[in-house]
Amino acid sequence: MRLINKWEIQKLSAQVIFPRLNTYRYFIDENYKSKISNLVKLGVGGFCLFGGNIEETIRMTNELQFHSEVPLLFCGDFENGIAMRLTEGTEFPHAFAYGKINSTEYTFQSAQAIAQEAKAIGSLWNLAPVADINSNPLNPVIGIRAFGESPEIVSAHVKAYIEGTQGENVLACLKHFPGHGDTDFDSHLELPIIKKTKKELESFEMLPFLAGFGSLVRSVMIGHLVVPSLDDSNTPASLSGRIISEYLRGELGYSGLVVSDALDMNALVKNFDSMQIPILALNAGNNVLLMPEEPEQAIEILAKSAQENNAVKEKLIDSVTRIISEKRWCKLIPEYHEPNLPQTLFTEHPNLALKIAYKSLEIDDRRRIIPLNNINLMSVFAVLQRAEDMDAASRFMKMLGEAVEFDCDFAYVDKNLSDEQIDEFAQQTSDADTIIFPIFFKSRAFSNSINIPENLKHFIEIISKGKNSIAILFGNPYIKDEIQTDVKILAFSDAYSSMAAVVMKLSGRNIDWMKNE
């Protein structure tokens, strides 16, 4: 504390800023690399990681640590593995799959494995678990990221996830306080309103957070949510002193690190001056200001405000004290040491992920069509929510094509499918005896809707006529009753492990432990 009191205001202001850091850009764009290096010189507290492979990320985090006066705390949204943000790493199933198995031991083991992989790339703060309860099937951004639809299930898995993570000396983070589950708006796009009374919140949404507090979670992320029952000024929770300082700190007694959700999200920047958002977030009680639009300007604004207002300076000192305390807890301070983890780390975890994915599958196969046998020709139509889903769909098709021993035709369809194209596909599949529809609709950032469009439902119905038909839901499970097929497989995730588990079910190929499942 005495050391922090001697810090210049500019240094205090920088330490609470955690900018976005894209590994890929860092190595190909000299101007971007120079900007990141300057932020390190200014003294930012850490970075939020995006993109790149494992080797590049390790090289970058070590390089930046070498040049930082105070060790940097790298964080990331690694909810179901570092592969959620990197191009490599173990892809565990999404949280909803764990709720379906309802084995907290698997949640603990997975969180532990994710923490180990995060440490291997130099990140000691996992911005997970999601403590939201997915009580609204239309929720476009939580969905399968939540452990379930009830506070009991979510609470149990949240506790296991925290314990698995923090047992590895990696910070866990409950999100998105005070609960992002009961909305059909995405805060990446606009500002959701949670229309529940305080009593309703405390008997439902708040329970997983309280369970997490009981497990001594090191940090909590505040969502960009308007919650009138907690702050009738309609200020978003992430900028609300009533919700953070008075309710979370005061009434609930939370004493750990408080981090804002990303400050560059549309829920805020569409409604507030982006240059004022950092000071509003700090004054509300956030200790870490995650990904402001312009981090250098944010540092300047905070420093200027602290010079003019002693209360702001005191908030900076309090926040930096908490940040330094967490850096000590995860052994970044007094000195950063490069991770030295076993080479077998990344080979053992995929087996665990596959086992969980396999156990979580829900299959409605009343006609006993799977495993697939005696098929002459099979057609597979990947149903895409976004163009970016083509990567996951292609990966699934490649796995399936390699696993089965008969001819397969593959194609992609999306919301732009026309009636003429439907007719063409119907003619082209006239000789096929089996049709498979892997459906890639899921809750995620920047989604307005997770419902499958009418033209795609019509397409599935038309193409399925007179064939054995199989729908595989690699995301949103709530659309299962809208799909008319003979077989429905709910995977609850489009992770590599979940796709591999589905392929094994379809092909009838097993690993030894599967024979008893």
What are the domain boundaries of the chain?
A: 2-343, 350-516
Under 8 Å between Cβ of 135 and 151: no
Mean pLDDT of 333-338: 85
pLDDT at res. 461: 96
Closest CA to 484 of 364, 375, 358: 364
Mapping DSSP to helix (H, G, I), strand (E, B) and coil, where does residue 160 land?
Answer: helix
**Cα(192)–Cα(226) distance, rounded to whole angstroms?**
6
Structure tokens at 339: 């991770």
The pLDDT, as a whole number, for residue 5 is 64
Reading the block at residue 114, the tokens are: 């994710």
**Residue range 49-103, pLDDT digits in tens:** 999 999 999 999 999 999 999 999 999 999 999 999 999 999 999 999 999 998 9
In CATH terms, the superfamily for domain 2-343 is Glycoside hydrolase, family 3, N-terminal domain (3.20.20.300)
- Mapped onto helix, strand or coil, the DSSP state of residue 75 is strand
Q: Answer yes or no: is pLDDT of 393 > 70.
A: yes
Mean pLDDT of 347-355: 94
**Model pLDDT, residue 334:** 86
pLDDT of 386 > 60? The answer is yes
Q: What percent of the chain has pLDDT over 70?
A: 95
Q: Residue 426: CB partners within 8 Å, gap ≥ 6? A: 462, 463
Split at pLDDT 50, 70, 90, the class of 506 is very high
Q: Alpha-carbon Rg of the chain, whole angstroms?
A: 24
**d(C-alpha 33, C-alpha 24), whole Å:** 10
> Residue 182: what pLDDT?
85
Whether residue 62 contacts residue 122, with contact meaning beta carbons closer than 8 Å, is answered with: yes
Fill in the amino acid letter for 15.
Answer: Q
Antiparallel, parallel or unpaired: β 289-290 and 468-473: unpaired
pLDDT given for residue 513 in this prediction: 62
**Tokens matching residue 49:** 């990681």
Looking at residue 302, what is its pLDDT? 98
Identify the CA nearest to 298 among candidates 8, 12, 14, 45: 14
Closest CA to 435 of 417, 415, 403, 411: 411
Burial (CB count <10 Å: 0-12, 13-18, 19+), residue 221 = buried
Apex CA 150: angle with CA 286 and CA 447, to 5°? Answer: 60
Tokens of 319: 């926040």
Q: Distance of alpha carbon 441 from its chain centroid, rounded?
A: 16
Angle among Cα 37, 74, 278 to the nearest 5 degrees reads 75
Residue 222: its H or E element: strand 219-222
What confidence tens digit (pLDDT) does each residue in 114-124 have?
999 999 999 99
CA-nearest of 149, 179, 174, 177 to 162 is 174
Distance CA 331, CA 124 (A): 9
Secondary-structure class of domain 350-516 per CATH: alpha beta
The structure tokens 């588990």 sit at 501
- Tell me the pLDDT tens digit for each residue of 448-489: 677 899 999 999 999 999 999 999 999 999 999 999 999 999
What digits encode the pLDDT tens for the residues 249-284? 999 999 999 999 999 998 899 999 989 999 999 999
- Above pLDDT 90, what percent of the chain? 85
Say how far apart CA 119 and CA 190 lie, in whole Å: 34
The pairing of strands 487-490 and 468-473 is: parallel
Output the pTM of the full model.
Answer: 0.95
| Alpha-carbon distance values, 30 to 24, 37, 253, 296 (Å) | 11, 10, 45, 18
Please report which helix (H) or strand (E) contains residue 426, including its range.
Answer: helix 419-428
Give yes or no for a cis peptide into 371 (omega within 30° of 0): yes
Is the model's pLDDT at 113 over the cut of 70? yes
Which residue in 96, 257, 92, 60 sits closest to 175, CA to CA? 257
Residues 153, 129: Cα–Cα separation, whole Å: 13
What is the C-alpha separation between 122 and 338, in angstroms, rounded?
7
Look-up of token digits 């105070």: 70
277-324 pLDDT, tens digit each? 999 999 999 999 999 999 999 999 999 999 999 999 999 999 999 999
Residue 109 · residue 354 · CB < 8 Å: no
Average pLDDT over residues 41-55: 97
